[in-house]
Structure 1
Amino acid sequence: MHVLASVGWMSQAFALAALGVVAASTEDAATRLAAVSMAHTLDGYLLAPMANAAAFTGFVLSAATAWGYVRHWWVLTKFALTLVQLYAGIFILSKALNEALAAAQAGRELPSPMLQVVGAGLMGCGLAFQAWLSVAKPGGKTRWARAGKPATAPTWVFVGGALVPLTDLGIAIALGDPMPMLSLLFLAAVLVNRGHRRVRASPRRPGSACPGCGRSRARRSGRRRRGPRARGSR
């Protein structure tokens, strides 16, 4: 699911860049309107749901496996790039597409499509770079990596990680607007489960559960060791 959604996100980003080139290079108003309308539809019905699903499944995999979020440089880099790309797609590219579609429908001059072309192209290249990171895994572990290997999450986490994005996609198609609410709620549950697993897996030092227990055991063992010698001396 993560691979399919990520490839879909990357392909739709390059498609947006191609449609931006068409809108910028044609003089025909009908062709320009068609290119802008197609880019707007592609962004709302394909790219946004694919981006949500790719980001959600990636976050779940990091939380549900030993890879974590900050244990390895390649995972941390993917995490940061994903957040940047989501922000750029939601607040910059989608806004530019809405403004371009409104101008094209009103017969006004279109704003420069270079933002769409460059932004979508960089988004696609960034996703291709993330695919390389997943294969090469460069950089090793970070300084924030804790000792030991975190336990893998139970099976229900992975089943839910595959089914929840599909449910959100159906809701987005029905409502006409991507709303990954179930994904956010499920991710919160996975993070809570990860915290519980970390607490259970953390090693306890002797006497850590009861600060005075270790000293009490030491005193009792000392009495037992001194007892036979005292009787022997008498």
Structure 2
Amino acid sequence: MITVLVVDDQALIRDGLRLILDSQADIEVVEEAADGEEAVRAATRLTPDVVLMDIRMPGVDGLEATRRITSSTSCRVLVLTTFDLDEYVIEALRAGASGFLLKSSPRQHLLHAVRTVSGGGALLDPRLTVRLVEEHVLGRSVEDPAARQQLGRLTAREREVLELLARGLSNSEIAAKLYLGETTVKSHVAHTLAKIGARDRVQAVVFAYEVGFVRPGDLPDVS
């Protein structure tokens, strides 16, 4: 059973999300919260698999709540937003969110998103992730000694994998590009994420751009 905490300051939206999620045999809404402070308390107390998090809320907003939840619990946060290029989305990803979902998305997209995130995946399509990062992170990279130290831990192969992750390639596409088996690539991806301190592929992409490891013009042709 996938347990979910629904966070939104609008009761009608919370009710609608609960109705959709509770209709599934494998998903259960265990709690609702109307603001970030309530969300943090509920997540800490219940440790649900997934937190559906609205961003724009009074008091403690979804961004700060996401940061607190991901830093102190094993919950995975799925951000709910009205706009697909909301400036807060990239900040939420930095804070530890595993992806985002438009509030206008069809119910099947919501269900798929919850199942994907609960299973340890990142919701964003890799190429959409790259687009977001390019638009919001590019040009803001800074020299971070700690990040450089993390990069220094990567083997030559893991650096190749990180570069291709940042390009938006899937495991199967990376395997084809590097002439490796998918199982081997999966292992390299896991080691890379661990070494750079990323929870998932989305954060790995953000990391690669933020520290200036890759830039769109520097990336090789992967077609």
TM-score in terms of structure 1 length: 0.23
Higher normalized strand content (fraction of residues): 2
Higher relative contact order, chain-length normalized (CA < 8 Å, sep 6+):
1
> Higher helix fraction: Structure 1 or Structure 2?
1
TM-score by structure 2 length? Answer: 0.23
The structure with the largest alpha-carbon Rg is: 1
